[in-house]
Amino acid sequence: MDLIGLIAPIVAVAGDVVVALLLALGVMGPARLALRRATWSLERRGWARLVARSVERPPRFFHRLLRLYLVRSLRIWIRFHQMRDSLPFAAERALQMGLPLVAVVVATVPIWGMSWYFNSENWAAGIYNSWAEQRTDAWRVAMTRAVLAATPGVDSAGALSVEPPDLGGDFAFLVIGDPGEGDASQHVLRDQIIRAGAGADVRFMVISSDVIYPTGSMKDYEANFWLPFKGFDKPVYAIPGNHDWYDALEGFVATFFRPEAATVAMRARVEADNRLTSTTDSRIAWLVGEAARLRREYGRCRPDFSARHTFRSRPSASRCSAVDTGVLRRVDADQLAWLRAGLEQARGKFTMVILGHPLVCGRGLPGRRRTPTSPPFTSSCASTRSRW
């Protein structure tokens, strides 16, 4: 179990309690109190009639129903007074009123197309973000250097390059980002993606960020990646987005790296954290095995080392570099040196750079200045269908 797996249930319970208290004390309580006040005069008349009726003759069916309603209303009034006098009792009653409504909200929000934003279990991602954003560059450097060290005799340019099949002559490829949450809003786009990828000139697809919401976990890959892209029969490559880094990139690495590179990379990340992690060798083996199982069943992902990608066409007439910008929209020194060297080698060729975070779109944002922490390069907005 990873860190998110440990803290998510705690955050979920805390989130549900907070939402329940807010709903009860801010919505349901005032609404019920307002209703009681509006019907108070009618209830007094009902009590007077009920008392008089019980003295004159035995109660009939209507008066039995009236008695049930009035007794229930009286109990509500008593509880309101007890809540005013006792804070623990007020909290207890608020949870009794609010938690059922929270359960209904959490169960129905996927229908509204907002499954991630209102699922309190996923709020743990916000907590993990504050840690992951400070560790991403260190993780990336450690993983990259470990994989390069494990492939002796191959320079970094070659080790970090992939060549999708049949890139001779003109061809096209697809670029999409933030594909979705595995819900209806993502599945409804499947037919369009399959049609776009069915063209004879389309060779592969690149997912430019956030393959898996909300925390990049392996447990979500089948529902959020494999099933939504089922039927797309071209190679799929990816650049991690900030959400993919929330589980220390474990699900992404297992899925998109070669198995041997994935093992080396995850072990390097563990060492970079001084082994202060719940990731063990057995978990790494499970992640790699689970990714292999899904790949066998669906067969559409072509694993290659993906912390940095260079796509080259034959006979090297063009070059496309895919760059991971992590959580804070920046690159580490190693990656920047790799990118500069690649751009220098690509002089005179058709060149494209794909980023997880588009830093500048078109001509850029008016009045925007580059801060000292911003990468010293920019990208243009990539279309969903790119041609080399």
Summarize pLDDT for 100-139 with one digit per residue, the tens: 888 887 777 666 665 655 666 566 666 777 778 888 999 9
User: CA nearest 171: which of 352, 362, 358, 361?
Assistant: 352
- What are the two backbone dihedrals, phi and then psi, of residue 282, each rounded to the nearest 5 degrees? -65, -35
How many Å is the Cα radius of gyration of the chain?
29
Q: How confident is the model at residue 244, as a pLDDT? A: 92
Q: What is the pLDDT of residue 371?
A: 39
Where b means 16+ CB within 10 Å and e means fewer, 130-148 reads eebbebbbebbbbbbebbb
Question: What is the per-residue pLDDT for 386?
Answer: 41
Cα 237 from Cα 241, distance rounded (Å): 13
Q: Which pair of structure tokens corresponds to residue 2?
A: 């990873």
pLDDT score recorded for residue 211: 93
Structure token pair of residue 209: 């960020």
Domains recognised in the chain with CATH numbers? 3-112 (no CATH), 125-387 (3.60.21)
Q: What does the pLDDT average to over 49-69?
A: 72
Q: What is the 3-state secondary structure (H, E, C) of 178-221?
A: CCCCCCHHHHCCHHHHHHHHCCCCEEEEEECCCCCCCCCCHHHH
Segment (H or E) for 387: strand 385-387
301's tokens:
């992902």
Q: What is the pLDDT of residue 14?
A: 82
